[in-house]
Amino acid sequence: MKHQYNPITKEELKAKLQSHSCWVQDNATGERLDLSMFDLSNMDLRGAYLLEAVAEDACFDGANLSGAVASFANMSGSSFKNANLSNSIFKFSDFSDCDFKNAKIENSILWYSDFNRAQFKNAKMNGVKTSGAKFEEAILYQSLIIIQGERYRIAISDKSFAQVGCEHHSVSEWRSFEKNEIFLMDGRAALKFYPRLLDILDFYTGKGPRPDWVGEVAND
């Protein structure tokens, strides 16, 4: 079903953002930002401060939200197709049922946000940090691979970055760590899991090198 979005001008959007900024500071002046059902396609929202903002079922297609901060925001059901959300911070926010087709989400922080049932077809997600984020029933199309059931939660983005527990590094970095570097991450538990992690990376990103010392751990 096609949404009927409400129109909004750049000037009206600017006024709403300024009013929201006042509301965030003291709640006594200004007004909480509510962009629900608005057509914000191709709008310039770079660096926008959207703390606790509401934008349910809105259209952000083609919009530039790079560097935006949307902590504790509700964006559920919105469309972000072809939008630029790179280098942004989305913590503790609701993005359930959103459409991120062809969106750029590179190097963004998605901590503890809800992306349940969201769609990420052809989304660029290398370098994203996903600690605590929920992706139940999300359609990831290989842009982001979430692996549960291991000792640590693993998220592989664009086959080039991997977050293991709270550690986030490129796949090539994961393949070249020294033994003491892995030990400093989580002690013996990390050392024991490391060969398994390399097997997982081989499976999802293609077989690659591994440090010589890995054989020592296997024989311990």
Q: Is the pLDDT of residue 198 over 60?
A: yes
User: What percent of the chain is predicted at pLDDT more than 90?
Assistant: 79
Segment 18-29 mean pLDDT: 89
Whole-prediction pTM value?
A: 0.79
- Mean pLDDT, the chain, rounded, equals 93
Segment 36-65 mean pLDDT: 97
Name the residue ranges covered by the structural domains of the chain: 1-141, 145-220
Per residue in 79-111, pLDDT tens? 999 999 999 999 999 999 999 999 999 999 999
- Fold of the 1-141 domain: Pectate Lyase C-like (2.160.20)
Q: Is the pLDDT of residue 139 over 90?
A: no
Inter-residue long-range contacts of 147-155, CB under 8 Å, 24+ positions, other chains counted? 147/200, 150/193, 150/196, 150/200, 151/189, 151/193, 151/196, 152/193, 152/197, 154/197, 154/200, 155/128, 155/130
